[in-house]
Homo-oligomer: A and B are copies of this chain.
Amino acid sequence: MNVIEHPASALHFPALQPPKRYLFGPGPTMVDPRVYAALSKPIVGHLDAYFIQIMSDVQQLVKMVYGANEASTLVISGTGSAGMEAAISNFVEPGSKFAVFANGYFSDRLTEMAKRHGANIVRFEKAWGEVYSDAEARDFIRREKPQVVAFVHAETSTGALQQGKAICDAAHEVGALVIGDCVTSLGGIPVNFDETGIDVAYSCTQKGLSCPPGLSPMAISERATTWLRGRTTPPRSWYLDLKLIHDYSTVSHRYHHTAPISMFYALREALMVIAEEGIENRWERHRRANRSFVNGIEAIGLKMHVPAEHRIANLSTVKVPEGVDEAKVRKQLLEGSGIEIAGGFGPLAGKVFRIGIMGPLATEENVQFFLKEFKKALGVQG
């Protein structure tokens, strides 16, 4: 065979050389070097016994981070939003009544998806950043008697944490299933899936798990599994059909789609890093880093958007001080210090900074580094 010539292409792009970033935003977050090393290991086939074992390991490790020992776990081959759509597509049948606790952007997204899947939607509206008391949650669910209830555990757009226990108890009283959005909470703060009584949870890899984006780990309660087995109409999405995915990943290993092998390698490694640290230690590390962060923020006279008792330890919303151009501060942080944070959007546009102190960044040293650069960007003496 002749040697192939490699002519210069008409297309000239520079070599891949990403700038160094400190990812202090709501995600993606910093990734452990071990996880990058796992990403670049040689792939095997998606039906190879080795990969089947990798999927099984990942499912076990996902149970650990969710606190979901009595549940089934699986991983969707798409990002957190694919996990959200998998939850809706599989558990919200056309025509069924779907109740949403609507206090932020991601409950709006849940609403939009449920609408597209033909649900009959009722929303309990609150301002972005507020949460629901146990009594409010109970009253809403008892009054509406929905088939499915959805809430966002840690709302990335607002920084508010919604406890799920009262929601789940009330939902189960009326025979409803509960979908819990754990995109920002998983790996950073406790989800306590079994204890809380969530039926269907989805998350992402790129926030509390400190892995690049690309997969969505899910947990599904026994109750939800039984319900799904009894569902007689197929979900509108074939790609996100949990029965087919469960069969591929866990039961027959029959081909459904070609799973993103490298991303599974990375997720397994990210979960191993967490297992080695110990999940409770990790949560405690995030809590400590958050206390230190909030102390620093308040010391320079800034205010948190959410009251202390409803904050998310790994994702904070800080009020933009009067007269400060938040976009300019973010630009300065990114260009001057390589630090990424996010602004608010929707009703919080221009009003808050969204700052994530997660994974490898959740240490005293990194918090102090961040505060120093943040003060510089704000033009605050410190």
Footprint of B on A, CB under 8 Å? 1, 4-11, 13, 16-21, 23, 25, 27-28, 31, 36-46, 48, 50, 54, 57, 60-61, 64, 77-82, 84-85, 109, 112-113, 116-117, 204, 206, 212-214, 234-240, 255-263, 265-266, 268-269, 272, 275-278, 281, 285, 288-289, 292, 334, 340, 345, 363-365
What chain B residues lie within 8 Å of A278 (beta carbons)?
A: 5-7, 9
- Docked-complex contact A4 and B277, CB < 8 angstroms: yes
Partner of A36, one of B28, B31, B40: B40
Shortest A191–chain B CB gap in Å is 17
What chain B residues lie within 8 Å of A258 (beta carbons)?
A: 27-28, 79-81, 204, 206, 213
Interchain CA distance A255-B212 in the complex, whole Å = 17
What chain B residues lie within 8 Å of A364 (beta carbons)?
A: 1
Interchain CA distance A292-B25 in the complex, whole Å = 53
23 A-B residue pairs with CB within 8 Å: A1-B288, A6-B276, A6-B281, A9-B278, A13-B61, A16-B265, A18-B265, A23-B43, A31-B43, A36-B40, A78-B82, A79-B259, A80-B257, A81-B258, A85-B238, A113-B238, A116-B234, A212-B261, A213-B259, A214-B214, A239-B240, A255-B345, A262-B262
Given contacts A50-B19, A113-B238, A116-B234, contact A262 B6 (CB under 8 A): no
Interchain CA distance A246-B37 in the complex, whole Å = 32
Copies in the complex: 2
Interchain CA distance A57-B345 in the complex, whole Å = 28
Interchain CA distance A262-B264 in the complex, whole Å = 13
- Docked-complex contact A44 and B18, CB < 8 angstroms: yes
Given contacts A4-B281, A237-B237, contact A42 B36 (CB under 8 A): yes
Shortest A157–chain B CB gap in Å is 10
What chain B residues lie within 8 Å of A239 (beta carbons)?
A: 78, 81-82, 84-85, 240
Shortest A9–chain B CB gap in Å is 4
Given contacts A261-B212, A292-B1, contact A340 B45 (CB under 8 A): yes
What chain B residues lie within 8 Å of A334 (beta carbons)?
A: 48
Shortest A263–chain B CB gap in Å is 6
Given contacts A212-B262, A260-B79, A260-B263, contact A21 B41 (CB under 8 A): no
What chain B residues lie within 8 Å of A40 (beta carbons)?
A: 36-37, 39-40
What chain B residues lie within 8 Å of A23 (beta carbons)?
A: 43-45
What chain B residues lie within 8 Å of A292 (beta carbons)?
A: 1
What chain B residues lie within 8 Å of A50 (beta carbons)?
A: 18-19
